Amino acid sequence: MAEAKKLSGAGLRGQSAGETALCTVGQTGAGLTYRGYDIKELADKAQFEEVAYLLLYGKLPNQAELDGYKAKLKSQRALPQALKTVLEQIPADAHPMDVMRTGCSMLGNLETEADFAEQYDKVDRMLAVFPGMINYWYNFTHNDGLRIEVDTDADSIGEQFLWTLHNKKPEPLHVDVMHASLILYAEHEFNASTFTARVCASTLSDIHSCVTAAIGSLRGPLHGGANEAAMAMIEHWRSAEEAEDAVMGMLARKDKIMGFGHAIYRESDPRNAIIKEWSKKLSEQTGDEYLYAVSERVEAVMWREKKLFCNADFFHASAYSFMGIPTKLFTPIFVCSRASGWCAHVIEQRANNRIIRPSADYTGPESAAWVAIEDRV
């Protein structure tokens, strides 16, 4: 069993910043559990909606509860006209994560959480709306002003994402991949975006503000944005050999290789083996001749040269690409999933709240003498 990573130094690494009953990350060096359930078992056996329910409502749903939950989510997909109008104003060259941030914020204006008693309904509405919301904007701005129908017959959030993106019922294999992917991305303890959501929640702010703030944190390439950055890197290489040469050059220049390394895990990210397996299946299905091989070679070189391993993001890049998902929509899918984890944390924070307000070690001048404005250089 791998030892836990030695955690110290900047970035609050290794410091406990609160309690959670939602998730353990790297407790035995590599593991990940949601409310005690191993991620491998969840990704293998569950639908995303079961996992969202587990995180938000505290237990795995029985069949009737799952059916009821999915029916509720399905009934809440419609986009308010005012939200559509705002989405249509956002330019085609905007980053889709900015669209998610604005869309979430606009939803908060239209359907404000007036009381914490409404929190579960607000969360479920966001989960229901987000896939159609981003794809409404995407199709309108990238597909000749097409105004898609978001009230599809899709049975799940994963299917809804693919259906509203491509305007057709997706194939079952792709829906299975989406379930696994959304489960893998759903929750990860006090990562940067979740911590952002909790800090916002600790001021007793509304839930749309918490999620909007978290989207902003997830957007960065050191966090959720890494799946897009990984794709932007690997898409240039047409063979494993070309990839190896390029990565060696990047390492010599001390470039960061996106999709590798982790703040907590030491030897592996348990989500990688799962999404890698799906990426392999998709590669075989699509007749891919190099992208999977390129990805595998980058993984091998990074481990050989740096003992750095793929995190959850790296093989998501090839997997999403094989399903015809445009690179810039990769991180919004992460939002569609992680919104469940963020909101479970917001609910947990609210249940036992104290405003999060750490201290800082001051490094500025001891004291400074006032200088009148006309005397300043």
Ligand X SMILES: O=C([O-])CC(=O)C(=O)O
- Interface residues toward ligand X, by CB under 6 A: 25, 188, 191, 263-264, 311-312
Residue 113 contacts which entry, ligand ACO, ligand X, none (Cβ below 5-8 A, type-dependent): none
Q: Toward ligand X, which CB reaches closer, 152 or 311?
A: 311
Q: How far apart are CA 55 and CA 186, in angstroms?
A: 9
- Measure the CA–CA gap between 29 and 181, rounded to whole angstroms: 22
* Binder of residue 258, out of ligand X, ligand ACO, none (CB less than 5 to 8 A by kind): ligand ACO
Residue 244 CB, nearest approach to ligand X (Å): 26
Q: Please, what is the Cα angle at 185 between 180 and 187, to 5 degrees?
A: 120
Query: What residues are annotated to the active site?
Result: 223, 262, 313
Six-digit token pair at 159?
């299917």
Minimal distance, residue 269 CB to ligand X, in Å: 7
Structure tokens at 265: 């895990």
Q: Binding residues for ligand ACO, per CB under 6 A?
A: 222-224, 226, 256-263, 308, 311-313
From the list ligand ACO, ligand X, none, pick the one residue 226 interacts with, judged by a Cβ distance below 5 to 8 Å according to partner type: ligand ACO
The least CB distance from residue 11 to ligand X, in Å, is: 10
Query: What does 257 interact with, of ligand X, ligand ACO, none (CB < 5 to 8 A by kind)?
Result: ligand ACO
Minimum CB distance to ligand X, residue 355 (Å)? 23
SS (H, E, C) 156-213: CHHHHHHHHHHCCCCCHHHHHHHHHHHHHHCCCCCCHHHHHHHHHHHCCCCHHHHHHH
Q: Which is nearer to ligand X, 25 or 213 (CB)?
A: 25
Q: Going by C-beta distance under 8 Å and a sequence separation of 6 or more, which residues neighbour residue 132?
A: 77, 79, 148, 150, 152, 160, 164
**Helix segments in 236-290, DSSP class H:** 240-252, 270-286
Residue among 234 and 258 whose Cβ is closer to ligand ACO: 258
Helix/strand/coil percent split, the chain, to 5: 60, 5, 40
Taking the least distance from each CB to ligand X, the nearer of 183 and 282 is 183
What phi and psi values does residue 272 have, to the nearest 5 degrees? Answer: -65, -50
Q: Which is nearer to ligand ACO, 66 or 273 (CB)?
A: 273
Residue whose CB is nearest to ligand X in the complex, by number: 191
Partner interacting with residue 259 (select from ligand X, ligand ACO, none; CB below 5-8 Å by kind): ligand ACO
Q: How far is the CB of 366 from ligand ACO (least distance, A)?
A: 31
AA identity, residue 251: L
